[in-house]
Structure 1
Amino acid sequence: MENLDDHTTRKRRATLSRDRVLRSAISYADVNGIESLSMRGLANELDVVPMALYKHVASKDDLLDGMVEIIVGEIAQTPQTGEWKRDVRRRILAARASLLQHPWSRAALESRSAMTPAMLGYLDALTGLFLAGGLSVDLTHHVMHALGNRMWGFSQELFAATPRSDTTFDAQRAALPAHFPNLAEIARAAMHPEPDSRQAPGCDDQAEFEFALDLLLDGIDARHAEHWTPRQQGTLS
């Protein structure tokens, strides 16, 4: 006769699904980081044996693909106004908001060796906003290259993040005025905001991201107004 513990275990395994496994992995990574995620650790979280997971995900890569699918698939569908620049801006900022909820997602996106269907769907929708706005296929092609990872809501940092308490960082900052005066000048601007500003010392990541995105979109708009073609940029292929 089956005891109560065995019955509970069988019921738990029976209710396990790919969606539950993936969402549990997302929750685990949100709390512990993507580096600590393992099939064994996830199995412990779900209170099942590791082999039970392999009925729903074929491998660690399949698990990561599925996690990315869910995150990208949940990027908010922003309302379209018919004004391409505004619509693209909203779409990219929606992607950024989604990815900021899951700090590990950038590393997962960058680690994928091939685009998942959800990633391709997002790129297709974003490309469609440019084309629907009247941009040529050639200009849109170059635009997507120019946006790069910014289209996913993140960008390459100017400098690697370093804890403020790190002695090496402090020494480098102290040496800036004597050896790198131009960098020292912009560093002072970042560390000392305007007197009437509520911004804390240091760079505002969101403001920096939106500033660069707006620069790109304004430049794209200018090229579109000029009816740009690849022939005008002879050094580009």
Structure 2
Amino acid sequence: MTPQTEAAPRAPLSRGRVLSAAVALADGIGIEALSMRRLAQELGVVPMALYKHVANKEQLLDGMVETVVGEIDPPAPGSHWQGAVRQRILSARAALLGHPWAAQVIRSRTGPTPAVLAYMDSVIGMFRGGGFSVDLTHHVMHALGSRVLGFTQELFDAAAPGPGPEGRPAVPPEAAAAYPHVTELAMAAAHDGDSVVGGGCDDQFEFEFALDLLLDGFERLREQGWTSSARRSRSGGGLIA
């Protein structure tokens, strides 16, 4: 008689295993379809077993954000602040692009999770270590906004017109006549069908283009010894942080 092969013991359930499974499941089915019951099925446990590790769905989402932010590369030691900040932000972007639901969940949180706070603290520290005053760093972080985490909220998210001949956007003649400058740009843009910036835009290029403009501008302000109080004086007190 052939002896029965014993099944390999299942890895014990832990918070890390729950969060990793939740991230992988959201990657596969989308964040809207993710539920505690569906996650429990994926892990082969009853739903109540999950609540020993995450108290509720909101805590699960917080933990998923922590897991994704944990994928961001640490800052390169000894780098100039500009290169270090750029590398950190582009690494954050790569992490979020790997999990398309992550930006939506980050925006939905009522406050930053500890991992997000630690990441922000690290980026702020790079500016401070690069010679930026607290005042300038404050305004720099406002200017970066969500870009510091690798994503942006674009002006228009609606789907652009479908492509016409040679892959260029199809613009109705009446629209082209009414909005000639918009049409000119739409027809000239480099094409990227999966863009969230708008039909015809290369997301990664546009992101890096704007990021580099900001970082170069920040460096000029640092070199000039810029202060918000001097800026307010010149503008008659009209600048609001």
Same fold (TM over 0.5): yes
Q: Alpha carbons of 1:60 and 1:178: their partners in 2 closer, same or farther (altered >3 Å)?
A: same
Deviation (angstroms), 1:24: 0.3
Counterpart residue number, 1:216: 214
- Candidates 31, 52, 63, aligned match of 1:55: 52
Deviations 1:31-66 (A, max 9, x none): 111111001111111111111111111000000000
Q: Distance in 1 between matches of 2:91 and 2:181?
A: 35
8 Å CA contact retained: 2:18, 2:50: yes
Counterpart residue number, 1:236: 239
The residue correspondences of 1:8-47 to structure 2 (distance < 5 A) are: 12=10, 15-47=12-44
Q: Distance in 2 between matches of 1:113 and 1:47?
A: 31
**Letter matched to residue 55 of structure 2:** A
- Candidates 117, 120, 124, aligned match of 1:123: 120
Mark the runs of 5 or more structure 1 residues left unpaired by the alignment. 1-6, 194-200
Deviation (angstroms), 1:222: 1.0
Count of residue pairs brought into register by the alignment: 219
**Letter matched to residue 176 of structure 2:** P
Q: Distance in 1 between matches of 2:93 and 2:83?
A: 15
Deviations 1:96-124 (A, max 9, x none): 11111111100111111111110100000
Q: Distance in 1 between matches of 2:209 and 2:78?
A: 22
Counterpart residue number, 1:74: 71
Deviations 1:114-158 (A, max 9, x none): 111101000000000000000110000000000000000011223
The residue correspondences of 1:73-152 to structure 2 (distance < 5 A) are: 73-152=70-149
User: How many percent identity over aligned positions?
Assistant: 55
Length-normalised TM-score, structure 1: 0.85
8 Å CA contact retained: 2:169, 2:186: no
- Candidates 223, 226, 235, aligned match of 1:225: 223
Q: Secondary structure at the match of 1:138?
A: helix
The residue correspondences of 1:198-209 to structure 2 (distance < 5 A) are: 202-209=200-207
8 Å CA contact retained: 2:191, 2:201: no
State the structure with bigger RCO (CA 8 A, min sep 6), 1 or 2: 1
Counterpart residue number, 2:235: none
Deviation (angstroms), 1:162: 1.7
Q: Distance in 2 between matches of 1:171 and 1:191?
A: 11
Q: Distance in 1 between matches of 2:39 and 2:160?
A: 30
8 Å CA contact retained: 1:25, 1:67: yes
Q: Alpha carbons of 1:192 and 1:102: their partners in 2 closer, same or farther (altered >3 Å)?
A: closer
